[in-house]
Amino acid sequence: MANKVSCIFLAAAPGITQLLHHFQKRYAFHKSAVDRLIQSVTSRRTPRSVYDPIRYVMSGGGKRLRAVLTILACEALGGRARSALNAAVAIELLHNFTLVHDDVMDHARLRRNKKTVHERWDTNTAILAGDEMIALAYAVLQRPAGRTPPQVLAVFTRAFVEVCEGQGFDKEFESRGNVSVREYSAMIRQKTARVISAAAEIGALAANAGPRERKALRSYGEHIGMAFQMNDDLLDIIGDQRAFGKAIGGDIAEGKKTLLLLRAIERAGARDRQFLRSLRPGARIPRKMVDRVRRLYITTGAVDEVRRNIASMTRAAQRALSGIPAGRGKAMLSWLADELVERSA
Amino acid sequence: MANKVSCIFLAAAPGITQLLHHFQKRYAFHKSAVDRLIQSVTSRRTPRSVYDPIRYVMSGGGKRLRAVLTILACEALGGRARSALNAAVAIELLHNFTLVHDDVMDHARLRRNKKTVHERWDTNTAILAGDEMIALAYAVLQRPAGRTPPQVLAVFTRAFVEVCEGQGFDKEFESRGNVSVREYSAMIRQKTARVISAAAEIGALAANAGPRERKALRSYGEHIGMAFQMNDDLLDIIGDQRAFGKAIGGDIAEGKKTLLLLRAIERAGARDRQFLRSLRPGARIPRKMVDRVRRLYITTGAVDEVRRNIASMTRAAQRALSGIPAGRGKAMLSWLADELVERSA
């Protein structure tokens, strides 16, 4: 990755270390603008039974990946960060709404090393706080009043429709014996990649991009989104719980049909296959069992294959960037694609 | 009410009976256009785990009041029904989304004489189906692509934000001892009246109405919305379960702070007041207890006062209509305001 960026920037950049430092600073700069707007949008609102949990979720850290991506996409096409800020926060609210509701549905107890909303309060609170988050998202997306391009609203809404559909398939697959790799891919495209690709596309729209650039950023976002989800699947089984912020093995306990599981089932011997097939959602999965699953994911080559898939999706994302003009903004998107799959949390 | 319409229409209408018949036919005509669009928007979509419950809810009858009102408001200002149809369906989806999630939060078992979604399926299904309904609402609201006026999206979103806030206050009040009449009014304004007023205002916007007419219809909608909710509170205790489609006494079982309860507590003797205050949410309320509450609502005069409030809100709605041009469309809105509070379901 260092090579790639240095190739692009051999002439313009003073040195690779400085460039990386610049990217990190820029990311942090945008993230803090996003955090400030989130704070101003959610503060001093009532009823507290609805907004306290929202403030709890929205101040609970997180990388603000989707929001920062929205802004970076806008900047990479010559737009000003400010033009994308409201949409960036709307995307972040949409994403966090899905987390709050999905955590209820997945019985997740931890998120970013904090109790989930339904654990800290209760299910009713999580339902209503989530609902209000998506309502707020649309309110922020329409700022300043009357100035939001219809395409922005359309892309946002399509992502919203599909992220719910993706979650529906994900839950359906939990109780289904046979799920194909193709179905898995279609599911994570809807559930994870669509919001990330919407972030990039909306950033492009905020920069008044033409159709070619808009398409390039949509494709970039979709590919990093796919890579992101597969990396998340990996971290669920081989990650460090503190860094990951969620319980390790949660996917197994929930019966999630990840690519890791699908491939391991295909390739394991008869006894191991039977064991993998016997994993049922809802059951308390003991640590020893998680360890056995992890070993099987490694020995069957499932982990290696998923890593190859992640690398290939990341390359495809980089290729998509060929559709936008060279520059520091583009280099930063390229850097971001690599950063995402090297993350441990 | 018959007098009112005949005053308005003495010249134009051939006779009051024929006019009422015309209104009923017109209502049914718009309702069936709404039903058809709902059907086409929700059919043949997957995953079935998400869309089957949506189709179940959306085909489950209901008066389509908010949708038809959107269309009638548009027609009353000279617009074509067709211009308001997508927004009408969006409003109906927004309303039904709130029913699905509120029924989870209120542990309601029946809605329109059918099992609620979380009873028929489960809570997860109800959460996700509700989420998808509001996503679909925004998708339909933006049809045809790029043609939705920004004000329509703004009014819709404000209603969405407030209906969630209103539900938050409603739930907060359940566990609070002291709720004032003023707080009750503010709560039902957000929880019930805002969506109805948005329906009327969006109808006006679909007819390209000016600010004065827009404001008149917003006010009309808000007042009929307040009347509607107070009538609903009445039906919960003095209604017929079959016609009402929900369990009688549900508000008492949930600890709802209705105006009926607040006034009855103020006016009851010490022993009865203690009894009314002792009603706690979550408890199974036996029929005998519901009967005692009903008697107290009547003997303290709470029922009469709520009826007077409903009549006064309905008159205010009629007065708001003075801000729009006379005609058959206006007469129909006037008729609708009276119909709503004479309903038994």
Report the C-alpha gap between B267 and A338 in whole angstroms: 70
Report the C-alpha gap between B105 and B282 in whole angstroms: 11
Report the C-alpha gap between B2 and A6 in whole angstroms: 82
Partner-chain contact A164 B104, CB within 8 Å: no
B183 touches chain A (CB under 8 A): no
A173 touches chain B (CB under 8 A): no
Using CA coordinates, name the residue in chain A closest to B134.
A161
Per-residue pLDDT tens digits for A255-287: 899 999 999 999 999 999 999 998 887 767 788
The answer, yes or no, to whether the previous bond of B211 is cis (omega within 30 of 0) is no
Ranges of chain B whose pLDDT falls below 70:
1-14, 283, 344-345
Report chain B's terminal Cα–Cα distance, integer Å.
Answer: 19
Contact A217, A209 (CB under 8 A): yes
Per-residue pLDDT tens digits for B96-150: 999 999 999 999 999 999 999 999 999 999 999 999 999 999 999 999 999 999 9
Partner-chain contact B47 A150, CB within 8 Å: no
Instruction: Give the strand pairing for A114-115 and A110-111.
Output: antiparallel
B35: Cβ contacts below 8 Å, ≥ 6 apart? B64
Report the C-alpha gap between B106 and B89 in whole angstroms: 25
Partner-chain contact B128 A169, CB within 8 Å: no
Taken in order of first residue, the domains within chain A and their CATH numbers are 2-342 (1.10.600.10)
Give me the pLDDT at residue A256, please. 93
The structure's pTM equals 0.95
Partner-chain contact B165 A134, CB within 8 Å: no
Burial of B184 (0-12, 13-18, 19+ CB in 10 A): buried
Report chain A's terminal Cα–Cα distance, integer Å.
Answer: 19
Give me the pLDDT at residue B283, please. 62
Burial of A286 (0-12, 13-18, 19+ CB in 10 A): exposed
B138 touches chain A (CB under 8 A): yes
Per-residue pLDDT tens digits for A8-57: 444 454 688 999 999 999 999 999 999 999 999 999 999 999 999 999 99
Report the C-alpha gap between A138 and B158 in whole angstroms: 9
Give me the pLDDT at residue B60, please. 76
Q: How far is B115 from chain A (nearest CA, A)?
A: 19
Partner-chain contact A146 B154, CB within 8 Å: yes
Give me the pLDDT at residue B196, please. 98
Q: Which has more pLDDT, A212 or B13?
A: A212
Give me the pLDDT at residue B4, please. 44
Complex-level ipTM: 0.94
Per-residue pLDDT tens digits for A241-257: 777 777 788 898 888 99
Give me the pLDDT at residue B345, please. 65
Partner-chain contact A161 B132, CB within 8 Å: yes
Task: Collect all residues of chain B within an 8 Å Cβ-Cβ radius of residue A49.
Answer: 168, 171-172
How many residues in chain B? Answer: 345
Task: Collect all residues of chain A within an 8 Å Cβ-Cβ radius of residue B100.
Answer: none
- List b or e across B70-88, with b for residues whose CB sees 16 or more CB atoms inside 10 angstroms: bbbbbbbbebebebbbbbb
Amino acid at B43: S
B186 touches chain A (CB under 8 A): no
Kindly state the DSSP code that residue B36 receives in the 8-state scheme: H
Task: Collect all residues of chain B within an 8 Å Cβ-Cβ radius of residue A47.
Answer: 165, 168-169, 172
- The answer to whether residue A124 scores a pLDDT higher than 90 is yes
Give me the pLDDT at residue A2, please. 40
Q: Which of B159, B190, B149, B158 is nearest to B172 (CA)?
A: B190
Task: Collect all residues of chain B within an 8 Å Cβ-Cβ radius of residue A153.
Answer: 138, 142, 153
Quickly list DSSP for A200-213: HHHHHHHTT--HHH
Partner-chain contact B138 A160, CB within 8 Å: yes
Task: Collect all residues of chain B within an 8 Å Cβ-Cβ radius of residue A130.
Answer: 131
Task: Collect all residues of chain B within an 8 Å Cβ-Cβ radius of residue A46.
Answer: 165, 169
Written as six digits, the tokens of B124 are 């997860």
